Amino acid sequence: MPNNTIKLKHGAGGAPMSDLISGIRHSLEFTGDWKGTLDDGAYLKAGNKYLVFTTDSYIQSPYFFPGGNIGKLAVTGTVNDLAVMGAEPIALTLSIIIEEGFKKEHLDTIIDSVNTLSKKLKVPIVTGDTKVMPKGQLDGIIINTAGIGTTKDIIRNENIAPKDKVIITGTIGDHGGAILATRFDYKTDLISDCRPVLDIMRLLNGKIKSAKDPTRGGIASCLNELADKAKVKITIDEETIPIRKETRAICNILGINPLTLACEGRALLIVSEDDEIEVLELLKKELCPDAITIGTVSPGKKVILKTKISEIFLDNPGGTGVPRIC
């Protein structure tokens, strides 16, 4: 592939994507009164509240997977982008692009999932768009959702200080693992963790300093983004990171670092040292039995992974990662 073309790694959620996106962002000079344009969503002060605006495209293949489908994923992902900023979603859009010849029955199932989740969350899909591309010009289906939400207090990525604690709400990489298992036809019990984290953010309202949903590029990418933005060092203790045996096995076979594998229903939370115990107890009791502290913030920069015998830099993933995983 020639040098002056877009590569798969540009879509993988790590350093090359950051470069491409920040290139695009820098070309887009005019942001008006909006802030947070490099976070999960942008926000605008409107009266005594903030309006939050976000979008994501979902290109996942296969579009059906253990634990959901691309429709559930598209609602979940955009709701989660609003939720980790502390916002209550008030509406979503739904744009679908379908390959000619796509099975109507599959589309119905996908729309059913969108509908079920929209009703359950009481977040309406208010408008949308449908396009069809000729056979061979698109593989399957693409969904884009945009979402708006409101909040009195924005949770910003950079609101992190030394001594803060890093909590993950459950096992990492279940989504990525389940997709890979489906794609390579491995027999596993892995189920995608795809779920809205809105209830988690509501439960912990006021106690979260910073939050991310570690999708593309996994927790490795999110931690690097947080350390960069907040200008701090984050040290993660490998032994504490919850991961399923089967996810680890798939990663071993395929040579993928599970720390770069997508979650679609976990929240990576930064809390102050003082709130750590209370937050963990609440999480474990109410919603996330596997929630655990995996790291600590200190002065400095970069992300450090403490393994059994050493401390290494956990870099922003730079390779191609896993294409079309979310």
Verify binding: residue 15, a second copy, rule CB under 8 A. no
Q: Which is nearer to a second copy, 218 or 295 (CB)?
A: 218
Which of 34, 228, 237, 306 lies at the binding interface for a second copy (CB under 8 A)? 34
* Residue 62, preceding peptide bond in cis (omega within 30° of 0): yes
Q: Which is nearer to a second copy, 86 or 170 (CB)?
A: 86
Which of 15, 64, 66, 133 lies at the binding interface for a second copy (CB under 8 A)? 133
Which of 162, 289, 299, 323 lies at the binding interface for a second copy (CB under 8 A)? 323
Which of 15, 64, 66, 91 lies at the binding interface for a second copy (CB under 8 A)? 91
Specify the 3-state DSSP secondary structure of 40: coil
Applying CB under 8 A, which part among 129-137, 174-182, 242-250, 277-285 lies near a second copy? 129-137
166 near 296, Cβ under 8 Å?
yes
Q: Which is nearer to a second copy, 83 or 305 (CB)?
A: 83
Applying CB under 8 A, which part among 138-146, 244-252, 260-268, 302-310 lies near a second copy? 138-146
Verify binding: residue 309, a second copy, rule CB under 8 A. no
55 near 149, Cβ under 8 Å?
no
Could you tell me how many residues of this chain bind a second copy (CB under 8 A)? 81
Which of 29, 185, 187, 255 lies at the binding interface for a second copy (CB under 8 A)? 29
Q: What's the min distance (Å) between Cβ of 200 and a second copy?
A: 22
User: Hey, CA dihedral for 220, 225, 230, 233, is it positive or negative?
Assistant: positive
Verify binding: residue 256, a second copy, rule CB under 8 A. no
263 near 67, Cβ under 8 Å?
no
Q: What's the min distance (Å) between Cβ of 295 and a second copy?
A: 27
Verify binding: residue 142, a second copy, rule CB under 8 A. yes
Burial 91-105, CB ≥16 within 10 A → b, else e = ebbbbbbbbeebeee
Verify binding: residue 287, a second copy, rule CB under 8 A. no
CA distances from 192 to 40, 145, 264, 319 (A): 21, 20, 7, 23
Looking at residues 46 to 75 of the shown chain, list those that interact with a second copy (rule: CB under 8 A).
47, 51, 53-57, 59, 61
Q: Which is nearer to a second copy, 111 or 249 (CB)?
A: 111
Q: Which is nearer to a second copy, 61 or 159 (CB)?
A: 61
Verify binding: residue 11, a second copy, rule CB under 8 A. yes
Looking at residues 153 to 182 of the shown chain, list those that interact with a second copy (rule: CB under 8 A).
none
- Give the integer Cα–Cα distance in Å for 171 and 206: 24
Verify binding: residue 107, a second copy, rule CB under 8 A. yes
Q: Which is nearer to a second copy, 57 or 293 (CB)?
A: 57
Which one, of 252, 242, 243, 164, lies nearest residue 208 by Cα? 164
H/E stretch holding 252 = helix 245-254
Q: Which residues pair with 285 in a beta bridge?
A: none
Q: Which is nearer to a second copy, 122 or 187 (CB)?
A: 122
Which one, of 237, 253, 124, lies nearest residue 183 by Cα? 253
User: Going by DSSP bridges, is the β-strand pair 88-99/210-212 parallel, antiparallel, or unpaired?
Assistant: unpaired
Burial degree of 251 (CB within 10 A; 0-12, 13-18, 19+): buried
Verify binding: residue 324, a second copy, rule CB under 8 A. yes
